[in-house]
Structure 1
């Protein structure tokens, strides 16, 4: 995101350490953060678009996989938050391929509920049910979560949407079909989560 929109706000906080800060400093910073947050949807959409390449040998690139996952959820009548999560579930690949579920979940957490956060954060091990055995890993690693309130919903997400979304002949909705939903969700004030 560019610093250009902030040029019309000449004020800056005056502290040299957080210990020296006062309420007026956070009023100033709050004005900048409001402008900064206005560009979050573009930033997240950029992360998503960056999954177009490389294809890494998959039948479709990760961007198309994301569109397919979201399109399937949309056509199945899932709610907006679910479709948003389906679209962005692999966005962590753009930043941290080695632990993309956790990275993606961290990016989405301020904008989604706890259940959907859990689904994104753990979908990788649930997706492993479909291929871990080809890599010499235990495909039943997801069983360690058996009994968790989101176990069945996460398993269903992977079965119906995630693992099925590698079809080069599938007609996905374009990103533009999801953009209003993305902008609506990301325009909400973020939940601040400190854990």
Structure 2
């Protein structure tokens, strides 16, 4: 019978170096399964039709990613497009920020920024129907990622609610998700803070 290893403390402040080295070691297999949990969440989104829309939440993400890939976007943008609404299930009122935090450790900073802010940029297309300020995104007009976020929404997000679009399946994107989430978290060479990438070639 395998012995279960546990820490000695009941309050974190009482933990020893050995306790925390043990936790670090035990956490590695859990961290390695992050892409599996992300993919499972995407599969769950296929069970939820966007209320009032003609497609599921998963189809919207797949369609966004398909458009990004067909535009010649790189892997960070494609995975960002695929996962831009992954937070809908747990955080529907702030899904954009939730989704950004899922990908932030593993993608360029501008991709994470765009995903984080796509909600307010997306409201440009419908906000006026609710009496909202459709130009609320203008508060970010001077941000270096403004144009990228506007283009992301125009080309890949707002246009991806078409049940007849030739959308690629999740299996097509799964290797990309695994590749991105296999990166070292917050690697400066990946995050590239301050670097502005093109959405597509």
Provide TM-score, normalisation by structure 2: 0.87
Aligned residue for 2:111? 116
Worse overlay, 177-186 or 52-61: 52-61
1:140 corresponds in structure 2 to: 135
C-alpha distance in 2 between matches for 1:8 and 1:69? 46
What's the counterpart of residue 62 of structure 1? 57
User: Is 79-88 or 109-118 further displaced after alignment?
Assistant: 109-118
Total equivalences in the alignment: 186
Please list, as runs of the form range in 1=range in 2, the aligned pairs for 1:25-174 lying within 5 A after superposition: 25-52=19-46, 53-174=48-169
Q: Residue deviations 1:107-154, cap 9 Å, x none?
A: 222222321111111000101111111111111110010010000000
Q: CA deviation at 1:19?
A: 2.1
Unaligned runs of 5+ in 2: 188-201
Alpha-carbon RMSD: 1.7
Match of 2:172 in 1: 177
Unmatched segments (≥5 aa) in structure 1: 1-6
Aligned counterpart, 1:4 = none
CA distance in 2, matches of 1:64, 1:119: 20
Deviation of residue 157 (structure 1)?
0.3
Does the 8 A contact of 2:41 with 2:86 survive in 1? yes
* Higher RCO, 1 vs 2 (CA within 8 Å, ≥6 residues apart): 2
Structure 1 counterpart of 2:193: none
